[in-house]
Chains A and B, each alone.
Chain A
Amino acid sequence: MSTASAAAVVKQKVEAPVHPMDARIDELTDYIMKNCLWQFHSRSWDRERQNAEILKKTKELLCGEPVDLSTSHDRCYWVDAVCLADDYREHYPWINSMSKEEIGSLMQGLKDRMDYLTITGSLNEELSDKHY
């Protein structure tokens, strides 16, 4: 990769998204950051896909909805989602008493936060490198 060109890019500060359930989203975000690795692939397009697929499947598991496992890639996202959903239920029991709509809103807020921290607000200058 071109380190010189990467170094020359200065990212503008992006404002963090705001959500009514911010305190709870903070807790869920911190758990991912401390215990997971899937959110830190090296390029922005991979991070977008990882965040979208794994958090979508986590939300479906938490809501008791069917999960698409039709491809090997789906299964790979799903295994990370299963562990995350189980840990959320264990460490944050308040999630078990939420309605599907509330979980949906919470998980959308979580995805927005993760996208901000790992992609749009990230200061990592290699995210936009076109090659692996």
Chain B
Amino acid sequence: MPHHEFECSKVIPERKKHAVIKGKGETLADALPQGYLNTIPGSISERGCAYCGAKHVIGTPMKDVIHISHGPVGCTYDTWQTKRYISDNDNFQLKYTYATDVKEKHIVFGAEKLLKQNIIEAFKAFPQIKRMTIYQTCATALIGDDINAIAEEVMEEMPEVDIFVCNSPGFAGPSQSGGHHKINIAWINQKVGTVEPEITGDHVINYVGEYNIQGDQEVMVDYFKRMGIQVLSTFTGNGSYDGLRAMHRAHLNVLECARSAEYICNELRVRYGIPRLDIDGFGFKPLADSLRKIGMFFGIEDRAKAIIDEEVARWKPELDWYKERLMGKKVCLWPGGSKLWHWAHVIEEEMGLKVVSVYTKFGHQGDMEKGIARCGEGTLAIDDPNELEGLEALEMLKPDIILTGKRPGEVAKKVRVPYLNAHAYHNGPYKGFEGWVRFARDIYNAIYSPIHQLSGIDITKDNAPEWGNGFRTRQMLSDGNLSDAVRNSETLRQYTGGYDSVSKLREREYPAFERKVG
């Protein structure tokens, strides 16, 4: 597994240790990219900062909270609404964002008074909200504002409110991942164990590392409720502040995104003895195994099996319709941290795609271990790539689609590589059995979009080819090489779910299971 040197990065020789190509018969012990290190000067990284990683990724998906940044208004603006973590309380946490709007004069004279004034003003503006998180930024960290002291003062004056302080300024780590770490540890140190929850069932979990992107959390919680499992808290998508203060009472921590939230799971195991079970909510087989494991843990495997059988029967023919048409298509799997390993193997197994590259902007070597282990030979793995390396990789690998975030995605579009938003999704949710079909549908739509017939023609040239062959639809493009048996199959079908697959779950009534213990 030799390291790979990009032509464009020969002037930055340190970059060579950040990319490898998996070779025949080689293992993780042969080579592994460097990871989670400070970005090399001269390499224009696509990373976020530690403040963003704490606030935007982990903190703000909490739904019943005023999330306020103590710093310049730009810090808050740039971490507002760009990731679609919805909630079932009318998206309060997405609608509003708050900043203390620190200016130059506050840097000179201090901004603690300004902070206190803003906290009280925000609580008065939204009297129904009694919980707040405050995020440190670079500017206010450098001038030494004592946010904790101000928060304590306010809580003494307003005993009905509770405030969490997150000290993760932008410079507090090499990337957003530093912020994930800091807020995990801060939350368990400050808040876990400060609320005693009402336990309503025999089987109680925390659902950890799940951010309800376009409703992912609600899909998974629906399965858990159908199994008679009480979800005490979700860390943090669609999660409530007080639910997360009660995490210490769960029987099991069910962990999705280990990159962003394994720290709190590990601490919950050490401090409170709660086991950690890593699961995959993406893909039929991994999801079925995950539900089965949770069912077995609580002795209710039959309930899990009933859900799996029902969901697979409903959605498998639709997944397979897309698999027939996606077979062999090359993918650059360039999402954030966890999705590169959640998806790497299962999109090959269940959608027929071929992963030719994985990358992560902020993942650690542990993420690369998981990702490379799940990929086939010849896969290019890159840590913290810069834009030129991304373009060079696209030129070298010639993928049919790139699954990534919106910044590199827009770059890919310019070189006419179809892009799907793996970060905030195009038409999610993508978790759950139906969600996995929606994902396949979105990949299919991206690869076979008729727009590519037009976008390749440079009409500024005098000798541009004329558009004389007629317009070919998406299905004309995808079905040309299929056998008649597949093309005319009466069992396979395209996605038949609705535009909105989440709202209906909020109206659902769940079975009541008799409790075995009081």
A interface residues (Cβ-Cβ under 8 A, vs B): 1, 3, 6-7, 13-14, 16, 33-35, 37-38, 40-43, 46, 72-73, 75-76, 78-80, 82-83, 116-118, 121-126, 132
Contact = CB atoms under 8 A, between A and B. Distances in A.
A83 B373 contact: no
Interface stretch (B31-39, B120-128, B388-396, B474-482): B31-39
Given A35-B286, A132-B263, 14 more contacts: A1-B181, A16-B27, A33-B374, A37-B280, A37-B341, A72-B252, A72-B275, A79-B294, A82-B296, A121-B27, A122-B369, A123-B365, A124-B365, A126-B365
A3 B34 contact: no
22 contacts: A3-B173, A6-B36, A35-B345, A37-B279, A37-B280, A37-B370, A41-B266, A43-B266, A46-B266, A72-B273, A72-B274, A72-B297, A76-B275, A82-B293, A83-B289, A83-B292, A118-B28, A121-B29, A124-B32, A124-B369, A126-B36, A132-B267
A98 B266 CA distance: 37
A121 to B, nearest CB: 4
Given A3-B174, A76-B252, A126-B36, A40 B292 contact: no
Which of B263, B279, B294 is packed against the most chain A CB atoms within 10 Å? B263
A15 B366 CA distance: 21
A79 B266 contact: no
Nearest to A7: B37
Contacts of B277: 76, 79-80
Contacts of B296: 75, 78-79, 82
B34 A79 contact: no
Interface of B: 27-29, 31-32, 34, 36-38, 173-174, 181, 185, 251-252, 258, 262-263, 266-267, 270, 273-280, 285-286, 289, 292-294, 296-297, 341, 345, 364-366, 369-370, 373-374
Contacts of B293: 79-80, 82-83
A35 B185 CA distance: 29
B18 to A, nearest CB: 12
Nearest to A74: B275
Which residue of B34, B267, B373 has the most chain A CB atoms within 10 A of its CB atom?
Answer: B373
Task: Pick the most buried of B174, B252, B279, B296: most chain A CB atoms within 10 A of its CB.
Answer: B296
A126 B373 contact: no
B370 A40 contact: yes
A34 B374 contact: yes
Contacts of B285: 35
Contact of B38 (A3, A33, A121, A125): A3
By Cβ-Cβ distance, the 5 closest A-B pairs, closest first, are A121-B29, A76-B275, A33-B373, A79-B293, A37-B278
A122 B32 CA distance: 9
B37 A3 contact: yes
Contacts of A118: 28, 369
A14 B373 contact: no
Nearest to B368: A124
A85 to B, nearest CB: 12
A106 to B, nearest CB: 19
Contacts of A42: 258, 262, 266, 364, 366
A37 B36 contact: no
A16 B37 contact: no
B278 A38 contact: yes
B297 A79 contact: yes
B256 to A, nearest CB: 10
A6 B178 CA distance: 14
B118 to A, nearest CB: 33
Contacts of A132: 185, 262-263, 266-267, 270
Contacts of B279: 37
A76 B279 CA distance: 12
Given A40-B369, A76-B276, A79-B297, A122 B266 contact: no
Residue of A34, A38, A72, A118 with most chain B CB atoms under a 10 A cut-off? A34
Given A76-B275, A122-B28, A7 B369 contact: no
Contacts of A76: 252, 275-277, 297
B374 A73 contact: no
Nearest to A120: B29
A117 B30 CA distance: 10
Nearest to A83: B289
B365 A125 contact: yes
Contact of B275 (A37, A41, A73): A73
B278 A126 contact: no
A118 B414 CA distance: 40
Contacts of A41: 262, 266
A41 B37 CA distance: 19
Nearest to B338: A37
A123 B280 contact: no
Chain A CB within 10 A, most for which of B31, B251, B297: B297
Contact of B29 (A33, A116, A125): A116
